[in-house]
Structure 1
Amino acid sequence: MDSLKRQTLDESSTMDIGVFGQQPGIQIYTQITYIFAIADDSAAHRAHITRTLTGGLGRLGAAFPWTAGQVVLDDTTARYRFAPIQGATAPDLCVADARSPDTFAAMEAAGFPFSMLDEDNVASRRTFPGQPSEAHLRETHVFMVMAGFIPGGLLLTFTAHHAVMDMAGQGEVIRWLSKACRGDVFTEEECLAGNCARLPIVPVLGPDEGGSDPFQLVPEQIIQAAENDGTEPTQLAHPVKSVWSYFEFSAASLAALKKDANATLPRAGAPTFVSTNDAYTAFVWQSIVRARLHRLDAAATPSTFARAIDMRHFLGVSPSYPGLLQNMTIHTISTVQAVVDAPLGEVAARLRSEIDKDKLVRRTRALATCYSHFPDKAASSISFVGAVDTAAGGFMLSSWASVPSHTEDMDFGLGLGVARAVRRPAFTPVEGLGYLMPQAADGSIAAGLCLREADLQRLRDDPVFLKYGKYAGQNIDG
């Protein structure tokens, strides 16, 4: 908290969005959908839900004015900052019958698959900007909510500008909205963290710390200029069809994976334990690589895995800080065959060993220094995920498992109880990208994975993978 600089509400509504938000590839949207069952589909009940959300968004916008604004490129500084939207005092709310033919009962029976949750039907904006269907849009909203009613259910989708907040930050804003809808009062820490100046959050390196050439401190995230086209993954010259699919892992499966991983840890020179997330993530990485072996030179193709890490704890920043404050750990194993052959504990231990506070803080400060002091060079030579070849052995994963979702205080005051499921809607396929969804009330976690069709089929037929993971419904492609 000591590192947070207090701002007035007027200052917060026009402040710089932060150093990591200046990246070209981050000017996109992230959506997350909370799915509720509704017993009463009457017009009166829908009106109550609409009033509750409208009131909550008004209180959110009053306490955190930047949430009602937009992201603009400042002509003077050539940096992205917040700006008010004329006449807007609250984040945008769209209430409609969801453009989906499915009922809540059908979604639940199918496991809430991607095929029933397309961003075009359930979200205010698409993930990637520049689509012809959005050519008429003028404002680049910070935060938007869509309440989509379906027979027997409500799809409550929160869409946030990724340059403004990572998923940990977006989850915090969603939690604030639930508080506002319930009539709860924001704490002093929430107000300070939510409206603080963002530029000082990550201290840049001084000359005696390597600040004169910070690029040498992040070799894993340096790429050739020709490889960096503003998006994270490199597109294939002849794209193959990729599809999004969900796989659900029960609490028992997650516990079994953790037990297996801790039982097969390396004997020396490695961490003495791994977390459930480490084990689960390692298992998914191994399984995806195994599904690709049929088309790769197994003894010559390396595998690089990029894992998103929330840096708040390591930098001593309040967990209520809503900005973009993540980094990646980059893990490379010499061959895909070695990834598949290694015991689960060995791969999980590799992941755990990179969760080193001093190393993570130094790398994150180096990245901040690159973007602060050398913005042009950073824009052309740095990628958060590094040089991950997602068409071969590469894979990228972001865990949303800890996003607030299934506790009683996350009911948004709607009288519907907690969400039955939380999912990321389907968007343009990005091969080799994955998400771990918020942990459900029963302890299960769904993994949303994007793979080419042939690899997905092999994953679905893999008895080792299916021992722990259950396929959800139908996949969806672009």
Structure 2
Amino acid sequence: MSQTLRQPGIFGQLCWDTYTVLILGFADQPGTTRDDNVATLDKAALKVFDAYPSLAGQVIKTGISDTNSGKYEIVPYPPHQNKSPVLSKDCTALCPSYAEIAAADAPFAMLDGDVLCPVKGMGYQYELGAELPVFLVQANFVEGGVLLCFASMHNALDMNGQGTVLKMFAAAGRGEELDADLVAVEQRDADTIVPLLKEGEAPANHDSMRRPSALAANTGPSTEVKKAPKPAIWTYWRFSAQQLEGLKKEASSGRTWVSTNDAITAFLVQRLTATRIAEGRVSKNELVQLQRAVDSRSVVKPAIGEGYLGHLVALADKSWKTAEEVATSSFADVAVDVRESLKAVDDHFIRSLVTLIKNTEDKTTIFYGAGNKAGRDFLCSSWAQLHWLNECSFGKGLGSPDFVRRARMAPVPDLTYIMPKNKKGDMYVATSLFHEDFVGLANDDGWRARAKLVG
């Protein structure tokens, strides 16, 4: 009997064409072989596929025309029908040893996405017709350990959905039954899970997401002479548990509660903006914008349970009229600005965005951070909610991961990921910055006092 596959939903119709990719590092366990680990992973994957049939599918796009960006669908993917998606790769000659990676704090330089990942991540757009399996796992065996790469097609899942999949995957690896309540949420209809605006209901402002069409008929041949892009690099910075405590305390003015994520985001925005002004790359009178990814599951009314895997991420916008305001305000004031920007992302905002996406034929005209200026603005996403991964066992022979990272993939200037805390309570921030911004931040006394360069 064929199973109904959950579809991408309205949010999943945005033109992502890319993958969300995560690397988990596991040290070898005594008495366990590579074959043992692969067997555990295969068994877990098949159990998860049985509970979530859409994960065994692939994403395709149909109906593209000169004016229509097309429709994403999840359809069966023959290579994953009743077969594990786990790929096994011997990387002993391609990567440093596990001990070396762990001792260096798992920097980007030692996590080459071209080696460790079976797909491309943010910053890379697949061509029409490319095979896009919804879910893949690659077990990269290095000397002394394994680097597990989990990859989800972004139109089908967001990082919050992938987090639920990892939770289920780990439970299956331990031989436990999957959480039936979480599985049940995934069965809800993706196209109606967020209600549209009612007739006559005014929409919210989504101008920051609007851009010119990327369809060929609208772009046409360009006569503009484009400059070569500036080089950009991915870098990890570590905030110790002690520094996080101090940072949050300094960010807490008493006017409103701020989270650790708010504090880290505000700290990055303030220190990097100050550096850019001091070095002449940003004018004191320029506008500065910050967009932060927000999980909409708890925002809409009634709330959507965490078990829903599909894409439901919106952006909270904050604009400062001048860069000087960002650089010279108190850190607590900037942190409050960052926190309060989340208030706009409410039930009405999400329903308005869903309505806009559904009613727009050419969805290439809607994109996150569309109005941002490279080298001036900020786009931040937090994966800190996956902190439980560092204490989560993935089954006999694997145990719990020593680190959770993104691999080094295509640069996306001004994009930042806040990674989950490790077992010590330290938090890692991944930044993709132009070289001069990286150098400026690395030499900024205020930043260096809090953050340690990992690389």
**Residue pair 2:292, 2:317 contacting (<8 A) in 1 also:** yes
* Pair 138,222 (structure 1): closer, same or farther in 2 beyond 3 Å: closer
2:13 maps to: 22
Whichever residue aligns with residue 287 of structure 1, its letter is: R
Equivalent position of 2:346 in the other structure: 360
Counterparts of residues 211-360 of structure 1 (less than 5 Å): 214=203, 217-225=205-213, 237-263=227-253, 271-293=255-277, 294-315=279-300, 316-356=303-343, 359-360=345-346
Q: Which of 109, 115, 123 is matched with 1:115 structurally?
A: 109
The count of aligned residue pairs is: 438
In the alignment, which of 370, 383, 389 is matched to residue 373 of structure 2?
A: 389
Deviation at 1:411, TM superposition (A): 1.9
Instruction: Give the aligned partner of residue 373 of structure 1.
Output: 359
Equivalent residue for 1:125, pick from 119, 124, 131:
119
**Do 1:113 and 1:245's aligned partners in 2 also have CA atoms closer than 8 Å?**
yes
Distance 1:209 1:154, change over 3 A: same
Residues 289 and 124 (structure 1), Cα distance of their counterparts in 2 relative to 1, 3 Å cut: same
RMSD between aligned alpha carbons? 2.6
- Report if the CA contact (8 A) 1:35-1:156 is conserved: yes
Deviation at residue 179 of structure 1 after TM alignment: 1.0
The one-letter code of the counterpart of 1:465 is: W
Asked if the contact 1:53/1:181 (under 8 Å) is kept, the reply is yes
Contact 1:67 1:91 in 2 (8 A): no
Flag the 1:236–1:92 CA change in 2: closer, same or farther, 3 A. farther
Amino acid at match of 2:232: S
Q: Which residue of 1 aligns with 2:407?
A: 425
Which of 416, 423, 439 aligns to 2:398? It is 416
Q: CA deviation at 1:225?
A: 4.5
Q: What's the CA shift string for 1:341-382, capped at 9, x where partnerless?
A: 1111111111111222x7522121111001112232x432x2
1:309: how far off? 0.6
Task: Note if contact 1:9-1:195 (Cα within 8 Å) is conserved in structure 2.
Answer: no
Unaligned residue ranges in structure 2 (runs of 5+): 220-224
Check the 8 A contact 2:18/2:126 in 1, yes or no: no
Task: Give the distance between the partners of 2:450 and 2:399, measured in 1 at CA.
Answer: 29
**Unaligned 5+ residue runs, structure 1?**
1-7, 266-270, 474-478
How far 1:74 moved relative to its partner? 4.0
- In the TM superposition, residue 337 of structure 1 has moved relative to its aligned partner by 2.0
List per-residue Cα deviations over 1:381-414 (Å, max 9, x = no partner).
x2222411122x2111100001154354x22104
Following superposition, the deviation at residue 90 of structure 1 comes to: 4.5
- CA deviation vs aligned residue, 1:213-242 (integer Å, no higher than 9, x gap): x4x632333335479999xxxx97331111
Q: Deviation of residue 29 (structure 1)?
A: 0.7
1:140 and 1:199 map into 2 onto residues whose CA distance is 21
1:268 maps to which residue? none
Bigger fraction of residues in helix: 1
Determine the C-alpha separation between the residues in 1 that align with 2:62 and 2:230: 38
Point out the more displaced range, 291-300 or 174-183: 291-300
Distance 1:445 1:239 in 2: 31
In structure 1, the residue matched to 2:222 is: none
**Retained in 1: the 8 A contact 2:295–2:313?**
yes
User: Is the Cα–Cα contact under 8 Å of residues 390 and 402 in structure 2 kept in the other structure?
Assistant: no
Query: Please, what TM-score do these two structures have when normalized by structure 1?
Result: 0.86
Deviation at 1:129, TM superposition (A): 4.1
Q: What is the 5 A alignment of 1:399-410?
A: 399-408=382-391, 410=392
Contact 1:91 1:143 in 2 (8 A): no
CA contact (8 A) 1:164 1:324 kept: yes
Whole-angstrom CA distance in 2 between matches of 1:81 and 1:64: 16
Match for 2:141 among 140, 149, 153?
149
C-alpha distance 70-227 of structure 1, shift in aligned 2 (>3 A): closer
1:183 aligns with 2:175: yes
